[in-house]
C-alpha cells in the first residue's frame, strides 16, 4: 500500500533532518530549501488541506512554528523569518500532506516574497466584503463531525462523510 512520503518521514521510516518532534508535530529541514535553514513544520497525522486540520492541531502547529522562529533567530542569527502555508495547488501546494514552511531570512539572501498589488474600486471592494460576509468566517464551523480522516490509499484522496470539507477539497482541486 503506497503511503504519503511525509507520513512515512514522520514515522521515521524515511530519514529526515529532524529539528523537533513530539506526538503531534514533526519539524525537519527541507532537503530542497529556498534558503538556508528552511524548516517544514507539519502535523504527523495526514491532512491534505488546512481546513481539514482540527483546530487544536492547527493551534499546535503554528505555536510550534512560532517558537521555532525564535530558535531560528537565536541559533542561526536570522534577521527575519517567514511563515508560509500554501493551501491548495493554485496556492503553490505541491505535497499531499498539509505543511507549513518556516524560512529564515538574511539581509541580501536574494529571496523576495512580495507581490504586486491590485487596484480595486470601492465598488469591487464592497462586493468582495459582502460576498465574504455571506459565508461569514466562524471558528469551529466545519469542525469535528469526524469520522477519522482515514489514512488515504492514494495520498490525495479525501476521507468520507465530511460534506463541508469534501466541498472545500473539490473547490481546491477544481476538477472540471
Name which of residues 36 to 75 contact another protein (CB under 8 A). 36-39, 50-51, 53, 55, 58-64, 66-75
- Does 87 sit near another protein (CB under 8 A)? yes
Please state, in angstroms and rounded to a whole number, the distance separating the CA atoms of residues 25 and 61: 7
- Which cell numbers hold the place of 153? 490509499
| 23, 43 Cβ separation under 8 angstroms | no
Question: Between residues 88 and 159, which has the closer beta carbon with respect to another protein?
Answer: 88
- Does 134 sit near another protein (CB under 8 A)? yes
Please state, in angstroms and rounded to a whole number, the distance separating the CA atoms of residues 153 and 75: 40
- Per-residue binding string, another protein, 1-40, x by CB under 8 A, is -----------x--xxxxxx-x----xxxxxxxxxxxxx-
- Does 138 sit near another protein (CB under 8 A)? yes
Question: Between residues 33 and 155, which has the closer beta carbon with respect to another protein?
Answer: 33
CA dihedral 133, 137, 142, 143 (to 10 degrees): -150
Amino acid at each position: 500500500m503506497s503511503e504519503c512520503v511525509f507520513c512515512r518521514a514522520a514515522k521515521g521510516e524515511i530519514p529526515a533532518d529532524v529539528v523537533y518532534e513530539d506526538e503531534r508535530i514533526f519539524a525537519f529541514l527541507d532537503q530542497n530549501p529556498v534558503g538556508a535553514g528552511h524548516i517544514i513544520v507539519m502535523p504527523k497525522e495526514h491532512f491534505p488541506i488546512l481546513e481539514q486540520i482540527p483546530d487544536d492541531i492547527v493551534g499546535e502547529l503554528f505555536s510550534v512554528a512560532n517558537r521555532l522562529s525564535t530558535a531560528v533567530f537565536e541559533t542561526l542569527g536570522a534577521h527575519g523569518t517567514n511563515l508560509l502555508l500554501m493551501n491548495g495547488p493554485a496556492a503553490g501546494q505541491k505535497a499531499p500532506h498539509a505543511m507549513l514552511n518556516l524560512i529564515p531570512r538574511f539581509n541580501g539572501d536574494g529571496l523576495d516574497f512580495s507581490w504586486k498589488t491590485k487596484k480595486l474600486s470601492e465598488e469591487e471592494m464592497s462586493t468582495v466584503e459582502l460576498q465574504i460576509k455571506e459565508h461569514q468566517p466562524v471558528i469551529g464551523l466545519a469542525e469535528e463531525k469526524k469520522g477519522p480522516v482515514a489514512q488515504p490509499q492514494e495520498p490525495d484522496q479525501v476521507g468520507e462523510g465530511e460534506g463541508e470539507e469534501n466541498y472545500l477539497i473539490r473547490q481546491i482541486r477544481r476538477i472540471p
